[in-house]
Structure 1
Amino acid sequence: MNSESAWTRTVVVAMLSVMGLGTLVLGAIGVVAVANNSGGGDSLTGTQVDVHLTEFAIELVPPAIPPGDVTFLVHNDGTVDHNFAIPSLGVRTANLKPGESETLVVRDLGEGDLPVLCEVAGHDAAGMKATLTVSSDIDPAAVAATVGTMTWQQMDAMMEAVAKKFPAKTEGSGNSELGYTTSADGFKVFDLTAKVISWEVEPGKFVDGWAYNGQIPAPIIRVTTGDKVRINLKNELPESTSLHLHGIRVPNAADGVDPYTQPAIKPGESFVYEFVAQESAVGMYHSHHN
């Protein structure tokens, strides 16, 4: 068995939506994924609305427009996948990777309040929703003046102001290393509890967060190749769950894909996952219950 003092420090940064994903480290591999920009879509028509998607908010510029044709220029300015949807009209973008953009054109938009949101699971509950006001009282000239009038100095100042918000001073913790006990039969035993918590996503803004051990992102489970690993998962969520060790080689019975490899873990129940750490890897753990 390798010495734990010889582990290589690995930092994996991932936002996952509202359910805190966990990291399982078996050695010393780090992965960075970079997505290319993409654009395209219909040509511009009518009123232009710039849509900025971030964690976890939708900014509409301008937020109020006159009726008629509308071109939505949708930009994913965040660090995870997002999309932009107008459910009442049945229109939406594809899931956009960080840095990607897409154009949506809506014809003959009538007056009223138009709810919009991100449809990636959990993102609307975390705050990714907004309302576009469509009113004949809005001056088209005033709307046009709000789009595309920034100088490069203003752009730089805005970018710097947003960047300096991180890391924001919020309550809670995440991604700390999870301790373990050693059982009489030689297993490293890790205890996890899935539970809904009050999660401060930005200063003063709290949402329901689906967490492991009260953390988002969830705690790191770190072991050495050759270790026998036992994970006890207790479900205190209001619905069933499971635990999938994504990217980690485990026996089928510990794969956490209900109802195929195990029954769903109902509220109030627990389940035990056991495996031997066979090879160096960095993975993550998450529910596989849909």
Structure 2
Amino acid sequence: MKKVLLLFIILLGLTSCKENTEKQTTSDETSNTIENSAEMTEEQKDLKENAIPIKSLSKLSNKIYDEIANFEILMIGEMHGTNEPAEFAYGLCELITKHEDNVIMAMEIRSSLMNNLSDDMSISQLKELDFFRRKNFDGRNGVAWLDLVHKSIKNERIILKFIDNSYPSSPRDSSMYREIRNIHNKYPNTKIVTLTGNVHNSFTPLFDKVRIGGYLLKDSLNFNSKKIMSINHVFSEGSMLNNDGTGLKIRTIERENNIYNTTLSHDMFLYKKFPEEQNEYTHILYTDKVTASEIIKKDDR
């Protein structure tokens, strides 16, 4: 059962790309975009009109800020062991600090594994923290997250938090939701960017369990549901370093046509999903390729 569950999580990142493949109407399969708008579905027209192109994940444009400006919570869901979501998370934080005083970066890491973290640590010193020292099991404690932590502690306007902490008799997603709630109550006027696996930021239950997104939506006392953004990373091809139940290994994703790579020629963009499809996530971060986060190499002693 565990293998089936983990395999489903691996495949979840591809779902948004595949679900609309059959809707494509282009007659030229070699074409990268659909030129004739009359051949497009309503969703394709919306995508073409509203997708915000991204040139660099770490240097985002003000058009991205305009899209996120009215949100208080911005959840990013990743396939663990990939580079792009972590790079985007930092780019988002840096963009926010250009317009606002501070931003909170909250990561799916247990606080106790980051004891003794300080802002003056080097990459080599960060590698010695428990989270990064331990064996890489699911792809999280790789180079992508190491770099995100390092860049965040060097930016004095980013407040770094770790939310994968357990509460007695509380499911894991409920515990992480409580951490976000506590952070929000302590910093009520500061945006919170979260980076977790793409199961956790779903608004709807997955595997018969309420996820962080669902708990946030239910908490109308502390959160405005209209100010919660949930971003899922989707892609067309590439690789990732994670565990499907048979151990940590590189997974190769073969290229397939989907609504994103047949409608637009942009390699990367942020898109607010078609209204009828916002049940799990409000937005998607599309990168044509996904790349695997490297395993951390221990420094020579």
Report which of the two structures shows the higher radius of gyration computed on alpha carbons. Answer: 1
Give me the TM-score of the superposition, normalised by structure 1: 0.24
**Which has more strand, going by share of residues?**
1
Structure possessing the higher relative contact order (Cα contacts under 8 Å, 6 or more residues apart): 2
- Higher helix fraction (1 or 2): 2
